[in-house]
Amino acid sequence: MIEKLAGFTLDRRTFVKAGGIAALSQVAAPFIITARGETAFKIGVDEPLTGTYAAPGKNEVLGCQIAVDELNAKNGILGRKIEMLTEDSTSGDAGTAVQKARKLIERDNVNLLVGNVNSALSQAMAQVSNEKGVMHIVPGGHTDPITGTDCKWNVFRVCNTTRMEANAVCSLLFKTYGKKWHFITPDYAFGHTLFQGCEADLKKLGGTVTGNELTPLGTTDFSAYLIKARAANPDVLVVLVQGNDMVNCLKQISQFGIDKQIHVAGTQQELEAVEAMPPQARVGVWMFEWYWKQAPGTPGLDAFIATVRKRTGGKVPTARHWFGYVTVHSYALACEKAKSTEGKTVAKALGGLELPPEVKLQPNKVYFREGDHQLMLSAFVGELLQKGDGDPENLFKVNSIVSGDSIAPTVEETGCKMQMPS
């Protein structure tokens, strides 16, 4: 009887074991990749596709993809087609981002590494790309050290530094609204450096900081901080939090009616966040790193907007799309200029490269500064609109477009001491 039971059990076990092996082999099979074409140019994109930064991440990836498609339609780079490989870096797991970077570099032999939105992940990836000597462009990570104290010969950055953002708005705010400012700052490295930049500018202009509320990342309820801000009676409430924190904070500011008593402003603002806010929350003076609605006649702009609209089902491009777009096009231009794909040669060519009109999509001179590899992109300063002006997605009124090199600190001030490879 027991044998029979054991016999039955063994049979089921064997079946399950066999099934397990069959299932595993199904999973293993796709690993056996067919030989890749040797001549394709490979761009490895390591961006967040899940988690908090999924929205900006996906937009940056789309920007890259659009640029790749445009280049491939015109015979690629140096006559070779471009293949774009995308990996999910997750929104906060540096281990995964680094692992994917290694995968793209080691296994897939990419010529260019692109990433990230998250500053910390960008820096972690930069260490890997530097270790391996691969060209690396950071589209959307803002922390200053990337092109400052931690600058590297193979790393370039498209978006602003926190210092540039502070410099873009501060004098305007001081002149228009007053000298007593109260801050709501996200409590992590990005927030701290942003605050330091603003504080320095404010002090230089002769203003005072009435208080700085450090809010933990992911704070959903800002009421306690807003109570304190209100009690301090400042001229300007400077909101430095980003993403969902920004949405929640502005929502609550408008619900509490604070915007009716104190001027609301901030530095970086993004269309992704603005579109997530109810209309009443869209208040204040901000800067965008790039905005789609500009003076008519800006070369290449209409085509870019049309392409993005087609690929997103009607939505306009945001700064994030533009970052991805510039990243790939800049790299292509550098390779063409250097007539080579070798890392160090391309890096030398990219340093100092000026973007042509159909890539920069804005007035002002836009170029990669040679000393720190930071793109000198303009800041679009203006105010949020509660109702779309002409287009439901035109939610920001641009008052001035300030050129990048007028707001960027000098290379010495950033602390960048670029170590060129031997």
Partner 1 sequence: MLELIFFNVTNGLIVGAFYALMAIGLSLILNLSGVINFAHGGFLVIGGYLAYVLTPYIGFWGALIVSPLLTAMIGIAVEWLLIRRLYGRDPLYGLLLTFGLAFIIEDGTRQIWGANGLPVSVPAALMSSLSSRFFFITGYRMFMVATVAIVVALLFVLLRYTRVGVRIRAGTLDLETVAALGVNVRALRSFNFAVGIFLAGLAGVLAGGQLGLEPTMGDGLLMPSFIAIIVGGVGSLTGTLVGGLLIGVAAGLTAVVFPSASDAVMYVIMAIVLLVRPRGLFGEEGMLA
Partner 2 sequence: MTADQRKHLAVLAAIWAALLFAPYWMPLFGGYTALGSRVLVLGLGAMSLNFLLGFTGVLSFGHAAWFGLGAYACGLALKHIALSTPLGLLAGTLVGGVAGALLGTLLVRRRGIYFAMVTIAFGQVFYYIAFQWLSLTGGDDGLRGFARQPLHFGLFQIDLLHNDIYFYYFVLFCFAIAVGLMAFILRSPFGRTMIAIRENERRARFLGIPVELHIWIAFALSCFFMAFAGSLYALLNNFADPRMLHYSLSGDFVIMAVMGGMRTFWGPLLGAIVFVVLQDYISSVTVNWMSFIGLLIVLVVLFFPRGFLGMLRPRRAA
Binding region for partner 2 (CB under 8 A): 9, 13, 16-17, 20, 27-28, 30-33, 49-50, 87-88, 92-96, 98-100, 102-103, 106-107, 119-120, 123-124, 127-128, 131, 143, 145, 150, 187-190, 192, 217
* Pick 102 or 315: Cβ nearer partner 2: 102
Q: Closer CB to partner 2, residue 32 or residue 73?
A: 32
CB of 349 to partner 2, least distance (A): 25
| Rounded CA separation 236/101 (Å) | 42
CB–CB of 347/331 below 8 Å?
no
List CB contacts of 54: < 8 A, sequence separation 6 or more.
48, 91
The option from partner 2, partner 1, none interacting with 277 (CB < 5 to 8 A, set by class) reads: partner 1
| 298 closest CA partner among 364, 346, 243, 367 | 364
**Least distance (Å) from partner 2 to the CB of residue 96?**
8
Q: What is the closest distance, in whole angstroms, from the C-beta atom of residue 232 to partner 1 in the complex?
A: 10
Q: What span, in angstroms and rounded, lies between the C-alpha atoms of 360 and 377?
A: 8
Residues of this chain that interact with partner 1 (CB under 8 A) are: 50-52, 54-55, 58, 187, 213-216, 218-221, 223-228, 230-231, 244, 247-248, 251-252, 255-258, 272-273, 275-280
CB 207 within 8 A of CB 181: yes
Enclosing H/E stretch for 217: none
Which of 258, 291, 262, 261 has its CA nearest to residue 274? 291
- Comparison of 187 and 370: residue with beta carbon closer to partner 1: 187
**Cβ distance to partner 1 smaller for residue 50 or 75:** 50
Nearer to partner 1, 75 or 220 (CB): 220
Cβ 54 to partner 2 shortest distance, Å: 8
To the nearest whole angstrom, how small is the minimum distance from the Cβ of residue 353 to partner 2?
A: 28
| Binding at 272: pick from partner 1, partner 2, none (beta carbon under 5-8 Å per type) | partner 1
- Per partner kind, with CB cut-offs from 5 to 8 A, the member of partner 1, partner 2, none near residue 131 is partner 2
Q: Which does 366 bind (CB under 5 to 8 A by kind): partner 2, partner 1, none?
A: none
Instruction: Name which of 197 and 243 has its Cβ closer to partner 1.
Output: 243
**Strands 135-138 and 112-114: what pairing?**
parallel
179's CB contacts (< 8 A; 6+ apart) are 202, 205, 206, 207, 208, 235
State which amino acid sits at residue 135: M
> Phi/psi class of residue 34: alpha, beta or left (left: φ > 0; alpha: ψ in -120 to 50)?
beta
Looking at the Cβ atoms of 225 and 304, the one nearer to partner 1 is 225
Q: How far is the CB of 10 from partner 2 (least distance, A)?
A: 9
Nearer Cβ to partner 1 (257/421): 257
DSSP H helical segments within 74-188, as ranges?
94-102, 119-132, 162-177
Binding partner selected for residue 123 from partner 1, partner 2, none, CB under the kind-specific 5 to 8 Å limit: partner 2
Whether 288 and 383 have beta carbons less than 8 Å apart is answered as no
Question: Do 85 and 105 form a contact (C-beta atoms < 8 A)?
Answer: no
Residue 28: name its binding partner from partner 2, partner 1, none (Cβ under 5 to 8 Å by kind). partner 2
The entry of partner 2, partner 1, none near residue 373 (CB within 5 to 8 angstroms by kind) is none
Q: How far is the CB of 378 from partner 2 (least distance, A)?
A: 26
- Closest separation between CB of residue 51 and partner 1, Å? 7
Among partner 2, partner 1, none, the one that 16 touches (CB under a kind-dependent 5 to 8 A) is partner 2
Nearest to residue 289, comparing CAs of 180, 349, 376, 226? 376
- Letter string b/e over residues 369-389, b meaning 16 or more CB atoms within 10 A of that residue's CB: bebbbbbbbbbbbbbbeeeee
Q: Is 220 helix (H, G, I), strand (E, B) or coil?
A: coil
From the list 120, 152, 138, the residue with the least C-alpha distance to 45 is 138
388 binds, among partner 2, partner 1, none (CB under 5 to 8 A by kind): none
Return the number of the residue (279 or 356) whose C-beta is nearest partner 1: 279
CA distances from 409 to 59, 80, 162, 290, 402 (A): 28, 38, 11, 20, 14
Which one of partner 1, partner 2, none is in contact with 88 (Cβ closer than 5 to 8 A by kind)? Answer: partner 2
